[in-house]
Structure 1
Amino acid sequence: MEQITDNVHVETGYRGCNPGFVVTSDGVVMIDTPQRPSDALSYRSEIEKWGNISYLINTEPHGDHYTGNYFFSTVCVSHQGTREIIEKASLDQIKERIRLIDPDYAPNLDTYSLHLPAITFKESMKLYVGNHEFELIHLPGHTASETAVFIPQERVVFSGDNIFYKVQTFLHEALPNEWLNSLERLKLLDADIVVPGHGEVCSRDYIDEQASFIRDWISAVKEAVSKGWSIEEAQERISFLDRYPMGMGMDEFGPELQKMNVARLYTLAKAEQL
């Protein structure tokens, strides 16, 4: 667990996303949850040392951000699109995923259920908790409902998965043009510290490097399409695994991720949406 300001704590060592929390004068506000139940339980024990949990904010609808919601009996907040996707998620598939990544918890899965967001927004909202303000901003990119959480008193922004700090970027559901626009909007926030969805905590200076990596992906796939390569040929020939490592616990997934990224961008390029 890393304390990045007097009141903001982040865990970057879990498989999955980087969950964090903010200690206010009226309880703790969480941003995302650990994916593995065993991590969620130890994380909860740490948070409870700092106070009661007032709210939980989910930045996106991928399982590594919300699977751990079940272990926190507090009000959950998200973008409306994030709630809608979580609501449609297959509980059986989530349980099977847990069995694979956290087999020690598997005997307890009978009681596991989804903890859905109870409060949603569409463009932006502000949440006031004690002496802190939380600005939730819809910034589509990595997913259509991606959300940034800006805490002005701390000069910290949780970027969700619009930032992957020096690890491979997942583009399999991306809206690349919107993502690049969202990164420009992220730069306008008065934040010194960025908590990325994956990778180490960084400064706002990294935003341009993230944008450059996305543009490199776009250029490579658009060139493949212009040369008449099939999607299979593009998947065979395009890889950025030499640029960054995979995130925590995901090394074996690297080649498959490259194919998924190519498939997404190839489809968009053929539809002239890049």
Structure 2
Amino acid sequence: MNAINKVGIVGCGLMGAGIAEVCARAGKDVVVVEMTTPAVTAGRQRLETSLSRAESRGKVASAAEVLERIQVVEDIEALADRGLVVEAIVEDETAKSTLFKRLDEVVKDPDAVLASNTSSIPIMKLAVATERPTHVLGIHFFNPVPVLSLVELVPSLLTDPETTERARAFVQDDLGKHAIDCQDRAGFVVNALLIPFVLSAIRMLESGFATAEDIDQGLVRGAAHPQGPLALADLIGLDTTKAVAESLYEEFKEPLYAPPPLLARMVDAGLLGRKTGRGFYTY
């Protein structure tokens, strides 16, 4: 089973930058692709800030040394020689499928693994956009990637078992993460449980039953959660929360998965949580 030493990532937002960081900290050669010059600049800054913080806390010996292993570029052709490419772009099925079709053309190694960090979109829909569905699977990291140890491995019905095992070895042996196996169903394991819980909290707030602070403090102080569901939604991003809910509802048609009107209005207003400075709380 071939080791994966050259990693490509598409997208250098919170998730893409986090994945790039953990791969580079594990000694991998990392190329990150963004679509515009401002996004490349912002991605580099995000990596520099995170790694400087990690160095100050003693998590890495040298931020500069880790950064030397990461290139952030605009040219998707720079992924041609990668052994693994992880897609970490917007949670939109059309955008992801279009990207996988392009990656299939760009990545030259026929044994390369093409992975999605999607939170909820069925992997099969991305795999069939390529001519190599046996080499496509979900590798779903959790935010913040350098901190949280869980990764969901999501093969489709067409994924070769060897592809899954290569991904498992990479995640567990190289990155030191803990992998769990998930069926290719919208939401996988964690979001299929988590999103209905978060949506329930939003409905409780929407109905006037309790304030955001009281809902969150109830779960933190009464159920030992590290943070409340509304603060968690702000961390995830309300746009991502809504997109995952819509994927779940599209697949299962269960009312508990339907995004509440309040969530939809907040997304329309651009109140997306921490990344915009305001969601259920102001940052």
Into which bin does the TM-score normalised by the smaller protein fall?
A: 0.3 to 0.5
- Please report the TM-score for the alignment, with normalisation by the length of structure 2: 0.45
TM superposition score normalised by structure 1? 0.47
Task: Name the one with the larger strand percent.
Answer: 1
